[in-house]
A and B are shown apart, each in its own frame.
Chain A
Amino acid sequence: MNPSLFKSLGFRAGLVSVLIFVFILAAWHAATLPSRPAAAPTTAVSAEQAEYDKLMGKSAPAAGEAAKTTGFPTLAQMGDTIVKQLSNPFYDNGPNDKGIAIQLAYSLARVGLGFLIACAVAIPLGFLIGMSPLLRRALDPYIQVLKPISPLAWMPLALYTIKDSSISGVFVIFICSVWPMLLNTAFGVASVKREWLNVASTLEVKPLRKALKVILPAAAPTILTGMRISMGIAWLVIVAAEMLVGGTGIGYFVWNEWNNLSLTNVIFAILVIGVVGMLLDLLFARLQRAVTYVE
């Protein structure tokens, strides 16, 4: 093998990452070693059997059951749950028992919708604020007061006025993602270089074309930074919001599995939330890179 491979930083970092992972698993295993070596009853049940039980409406004696009896779940139970959840992510057994993919889809749909509405409001408004010092001053006090409000504080008001928990969730996502986008858009637009605007002026470019062809690309990196921050916050908030209003979504899944005392499912959901959050961030990092320019 190429010896320089071992010297590369990427390889060594990867190696350390793997070692940390192994260490965590080992620590977990050590901490959950059973006092008596008895196999969990669930392992005896084949996947087909469990499936059948579920289809028959019998509540599956899932890993949660075992967790209840032995305290914190063991690695084997955890692995079992992961395999089970991932092998059938789309099942729907009524309100309190849906596959992880379905719950994720609910959460992502809420986040996506709230985020899109926030974009539709924040970007044009940010443009106006960025271009008009008058509007910037006039709206500043509102923004300063509204921005630090925890999005969840809006929940009761949203539930009362909208009277729909799902739409209230969307509203909460909207309200939390609107601020970073608004402020970044306004800042990006306000700091577009004078010289580019002068070029557009000397070319007698019409206002709309100027906005789309000069200001938007010039401010795009800043705007996308705002979008990335917003998406990060939205993904944090959706879990809390869904825990609060219940019904569907990954946040509700966590809450529901906690009520079922199924820690393996809770841990599984936590991992999924982390991975999906990372993927969303990666997506926006990509977009950000695509619009960034070198001066």
Chain B
Amino acid sequence: MEGFLRVEKLGKAFVADKPVFSDVSFKLDRGEFVCIIGHSGCGKTTILNVIAGLDTASTGHVFMDGREVAGPSLERGVVFQSHALMPWLTVRKNIAFAVESRWPEKSAAQIDEAVRAAVELVGLTPAIDKLPSQLSGGMKQRVGIARAFAIQPKMLLLDEPFGALDALTRGTIQEELISIVRKTQQTVFMITHDVDEAILLADRILLMKNGGETSSGYVPGGVAEVVVNTLPKDRSRQTLHHLDGYYELRNNIVDFLVTRAKHH
């Protein structure tokens, strides 16, 4: 079996002949955590949406578990950048909506049990009956993560889930995510624009280049480099900076973003 998720020669053009990216190919193994990093506008969200089945590519294919992705599916849980909670539903009902969708045959008691387990996973039990508007940004994002985990998807797709959070909250939720992912052996594809976040979380980091005009005409963007994270698996936010190889890794990525990611 070649890769749990296979992305093959993906390309997307909103404007004819000027694809945002083209020829994007990569694989994720089961249980792997892969981050994609790149400047805004390079097409990260588009790629994630195509994998989710929410968008269609102009060229190329996505396969998960041997089957081609043809539309959205409960097998892929998505955490949206803007949390995307339904503001008229409490935390409990937001997650229950997902659980009911996943297992329509479950009884109300079983659903509530699954909901409470998911809420506990992200430490939000005291806020379970609150509305999203009564929660802080970090708490809302936790609910989004709990909702994605609650349906026990085969893989998780996260689009800059912590982009809108302050550094402290961000750190806490990153650690929570690490522990949940380790516990559940999830396969994760995540977009970030934070280099440290990528180094902390990812087994591999895809570096994406923007498309743009060059002296020889338009060149589409795409995945330019793949960085394998060689830091020990049990790294944490506190120890990250002291690890051997951290600065090399970080400098390589930052250097890519500053000098190589854009056409000049």
B185 interface residue (CB < 8 Å to A):
no
B61 interface residue (CB < 8 Å to A):
no
Nearest-neighbor residue (CB-CB) of B151 within chain A: A203
A218 interface residue (CB < 8 Å to B):
yes
Chain B residue contacts of A196, Cβ below 8 A: 84, 86
Task: State which residues 46-80 of B face A: CB under 8 Å.
Answer: 52-54, 71-74, 76-78, 80
B163 interface residue (CB < 8 Å to A):
no
Nearest-neighbor residue (CB-CB) of B76 within chain A: A202
Q: How far is the CA of A196 from the CA of B82 in the complex (A)?
A: 10
Task: State which residues 170-211 of A face B: CB under 8 Å.
Answer: 193, 195-196, 198-199, 201-205
Take A213-B97, A293-B131, A294-B131 as given contacts and tell me if A201 and B86 are in contact as well, using a CB distance cutoff of 8 Å: no
Chain A residue contacts of B84, Cβ below 8 A: 193, 195-196, 198-199
Of B74, B88, B89, B132, the residue contacting A202 (CB under 8 A) is B74
Take A201-B54, A203-B97 as given contacts and tell me if A294 and B87 are in contact as well, using a CB distance cutoff of 8 Å: yes
Contact, CB under 8 Å: B87 / A203 = no
Chain A residue contacts of B52, Cβ below 8 A: 202
B101 interface residue (CB < 8 Å to A):
yes
Nearest-neighbor residue (CB-CB) of B52 within chain A: A202
Chain B residue contacts of A291, Cβ below 8 A: 88
Contact, CB under 8 Å: B86 / A218 = yes
Contact, CB under 8 Å: B80 / A198 = yes
Take A203-B151, A204-B73, A295-B133 as given contacts and tell me if A198 and B101 are in contact as well, using a CB distance cutoff of 8 Å: no
The smallest C-beta distance from B237 to any residue of chain A, in angstroms, reads 29
Take A198-B78, A202-B72, A202-B76 as given contacts and tell me if A293 and B87 are in contact as well, using a CB distance cutoff of 8 Å: yes
Nearest-neighbor residue (CB-CB) of B73 within chain A: A204
Contact, CB under 8 Å: A294 / B80 = no
B102 interface residue (CB < 8 Å to A):
yes
Take A202-B52, A202-B54, A203-B102 as given contacts and tell me if A217 and B86 are in contact as well, using a CB distance cutoff of 8 Å: yes
Task: State which residues 21-55 of B face A: CB under 8 Å.
Answer: 52-54
The smallest C-beta distance from B6 to any residue of chain A, in angstroms, reads 20
B98 interface residue (CB < 8 Å to A):
yes
The smallest C-beta distance from A282 to any residue of chain B, in angstroms, reads 22
Q: How far is the CA of A199 from the CA of B148 in the complex (A)?
A: 10
Nearest-neighbor residue (CB-CB) of A209 within chain B: B101
Nearest-neighbor residue (CB-CB) of A214 within chain B: B86
Chain A residue contacts of B133, Cβ below 8 A: 293-295
| A-B contacts besides A196-B84, A198-B80, A295-B87, 18 pairs, CB < 8 Å | A193-B84, A195-B80, A196-B86, A198-B84, A199-B84, A199-B86, A201-B54, A201-B71, A202-B52, A202-B54, A202-B73, A202-B78, A214-B86, A218-B88, A220-B88, A293-B87, A293-B131, A294-B133
For this complex, 19 residue pairs linking A to B, each with C-beta atoms less than 8 Å apart, are: A193-B84, A195-B82, A198-B78, A198-B84, A199-B78, A199-B84, A202-B52, A202-B78, A203-B97, A203-B101, A203-B102, A204-B74, A204-B101, A213-B97, A217-B88, A218-B86, A220-B88, A294-B131, A295-B87
Which 7 pairs from chain A and chain B are nearest by CB? A203-B101, A294-B133, A195-B84, A293-B88, A201-B72, A293-B87, A202-B72
